[in-house]
Structure 1
Amino acid sequence: MPELELSAGVIDYVDTGGDGEPVVLVHGLGFDESVWAAVTEALREDYRVLVPVLPLGSHRRPMRPDADLSAHGIARLLGEFLERLDLRGATLVQNDAGTSQLLAAEGDERIGRLVLTSCEALSNYPPGVQGKSLYWASRVPGGLFLVLQSFRVPALWRMQTALGGMAKHPLPPELVRRWYGPLLRDAANRRDFYKFCRNVDRNTYVEAAERLRSFDRPALVAWGAEDRMMPPATGRRLAELLPQGRYVEIPDARTLVPLDNPTALVAELRQFIEENPAPKP
């Protein structure tokens, strides 16, 4: 994988290359580029697909000790990624953690289109039992470390009130080991993960949503139809406040939409991009 040095440290990223329009796929907390593997493969023939491995727990390169890895800090790193690679008119696609909303809310001009799939938004933070467990554990000394130990035991992470409830279909154990292995092995990765968990305010996404009312570019809100952690009602409200927002539901999917039903999501992405051509430079 290529690497890129940003202000917080060096990150890995996927880049399929080519002359197609850039589509940037953004993973959530405790995940990496593998969440988007099927979508990346389906889009690479016609688009330049990029997937940055953000420092949200499953990254392989710990960041600098003084790096700002709050929600706003991650959003700034994402903006830095777009700038460093000179990605203009990019279609930014977010799943799970809502950090792309924060970048879009600031009016980053490199974003040509915004796609939000089942992510924290509005007042749905912390989301579901899973989000609330992390939120309150991050407020107790040693709490997050204890929560992370549950990922050593398949019977625990498969529970519907844990990671297993974020997907409609059973998650392969090898993927879970890939995602949580860095957190269980490396204290520096845990430090980065803790920074994010402890520095997201309950008003973060409410305030971002207010600023999104002035986002003047095409936006698609593609929500998992069976999502329990991020209720579809949240997605509908989010689409309504975006001036050019459109709401669709992805069937047979919960929070991890790109894993549960990549075929339906890719079809919606292609239609959205084709119906909203990028302005000519």
Structure 2
Amino acid sequence: MQHVDLPAGPIDYIDTGGDGPVLVLGHGLLMNETLWSKVIPLLEGYRCVAPTLPLGAHRSPMRADADLTQRGVARIFADFLEALDLSNVTVVLNDWGGGQFMVSDGRADRVGRLVLASCEAFDNFPPRPARPAVALCRIPGGTALFLRLLATSFVRHDKQAWGGLSKSRISDEMLDDWFAPATRSAEIRRDLTKFCTGTPPRKTLLEWASQLSGFDRPVLVMWATEDRMMPLAHARRLTGLFPNARQVHIDDSWTLIPQDQPERFAAALREFVPPA
């Protein structure tokens, strides 16, 4: 595991190295780089860079004054690309969709291609099943209570929680790893609360989404046809919004396609970004 210090705080990441095309792999709320554990081994010939973003599973807290709103984390993503001097990268987003806001914020100059894989879009921040948890994080002590609930098998595997993200069921070992940092650290719970409560109003989200049409580089919209969190209609809307986009549907998967269908995910990436 490597790390880089950004203005907002430290970011851990894994980097497979090499001279192949660079894929920068994002993840969702209370997840880390292990979301990609089944996909990265299938991408020989590519340089895979997977940061752990400050979405609650990060291992070191961010600075107390860090902006961890949706746009703030998108800026951290852009700062990460800049700090590693990565250019012409393919940014791959799954579950969390806020990396799109690099475009509306004018920070996508290092992004050569964009993959939106069953992720938040338009006004679906957060997805409807996650909204009760976000509401809980708004009350004093609510984030700590939320994490205590996630320690129970009944809640964590419920279809309205992480159980609704992966059709193949996320292992308790992986979930324990994802939930541990915020469970043990008040500062990381602070960061998690800031992110969960940092989504702008619907009008602002739709305004930012309208600006995505300015991104004229290739876009792949990859969507799980059985997704329980991200409406399939958003895949069609995104494909129509970008001037240079194409769409791929993945069957027999829910939101976390990298866990449910890693071979098909890797194959779609290889077709979209040919190896050098």
1:266 to 2:269 alignment? no
Q: Does 1:113 align with 2:113?
A: yes
Worse overlay, 231-240 or 31-40: 231-240
**How far is the alpha carbon of 1:235 from its aligned partner?**
1.5
CA distance in 2, matches of 1:61, 1:140: 24
Give the 3 Å change call, closer, same or farther, for CA 54–126 of structure 1 in structure 2. closer
Moved more, 137-146 or 148-157: 137-146
1:16 is matched by which residue type in structure 2?
T
Contact preservation (8 Å) 1:230, 1:255: yes
**AA at the equivalent of 2:272:** F
User: Structure 1 residue 4 and structure 2 residue 4: aligned?
Assistant: yes
Aligned position for 1:30: 30
For 1:115-154, list aligned pairs within 5 A: 115-129=115-129, 131-154=130-153
Deviations 1:163-214 (A, max 9, x none): 1011111111100100001111111110010010111113353222101011
Letter of the structure 2 residue corresponding to residue 262 of structure 1? P
Question: How far apart are residue 75 of structure 1 and its match?
Answer: 0.6
- Check whether the contact 2:138–2:193 (CA below 8 A) recurs between aligned residues: no
Greater shift in the superposed pair: 28-37 or 103-112:
103-112
**1:18 matched to which residue of 2?**
18
* Alignment-derived partner of residue 205 in structure 1: 205
Give the Å deviation of 1:8.
1.0
Counterpart of 1:192 in structure 2 is 191
Task: Please tell me the root mean square deviation across aligned C-alpha atoms, in Å.
Answer: 1.5
Length, aligned pairs only: 274
Name 1:232's counterpart in structure 2: 232
Map of 1:59 onto structure 2: 58
Contact kept in structure 2, 1:209 and 1:238, CA below 8 Å: no
- Is 1:76 paired with 2:75? yes
Q: Return the alpha-carbon distance in structure 2 between the equivalents of residues 105 and 254 of structure 1.
A: 28
Shift of 1:125: 2.8
Structure 2, gaps ≥5 residues long:
none
What is the percent sequence identity of the aligned residues? 46
User: Are the equivalent residues in 2 in contact too, given 1:57–1:189 (CA < 8 A)?
Assistant: yes
Amino acid at match of 1:242: F
Counterpart-to-counterpart distance in 1, 2:105 and 2:198: 19
Shift of 1:86: 1.1
1:175 matched to which residue of 2? Answer: 174
> What are the residue-to-residue correspondences of 1:153-168 with 2, within 5 Å?
153-168=152-167
- 3-state SS of paired residue (1:226): coil
- Shift of the alpha carbon at 1:141? 2.8
C-alpha displacement of 1:151: 1.2
Secondary structure class of the residue paired with 2:124 = coil
- The CA deviation at 1:157 is 1.1
Amino acid at match of 1:31: M
Distance 1:202 1:168, change over 3 A: farther
TM-score by length of 2: 0.95
**What is the match of residue 90 of structure 2?**
91
Q: Please give the alpha-carbon distance, in whole angstroms, between the structure 2 residues aligned to 1:220 and 1:136.
A: 32
Q: C-alpha deviations, 1:100-138, integer Å up to 9, x for none?
A: 110133341100000011111012233131x21123223
Check 1:191–1:147 CA distance in 2 against 1; reply closer, same or farther (3 A cut): same
Distance (Å, rounded) in 1 between the aligned partners of 2:111 and 2:30: 24
CA apart distance, 1:150: 1.2
Superposed CA deviations along residues 201-253 of structure 1, whole A, max 9, x for unmatched, are 13353222101011110001101111011111112111111111111111111
Please list every run of at least 4 consecutive aligned residues from structure 1 whose deviation after the TM superposition is greater than 4 angstroms. none
Checking the alignment, whether the CA contact within 8 Å between 2:21 and 2:273 is kept in structure 1 is no
- The aligned amino acid for 1:133 is P
| Deviation, structure 1 residue 97 | 1.2
Deviation at 1:144, TM superposition (A): 2.6
CA distance in 1, matches of 2:201, 2:164: 22
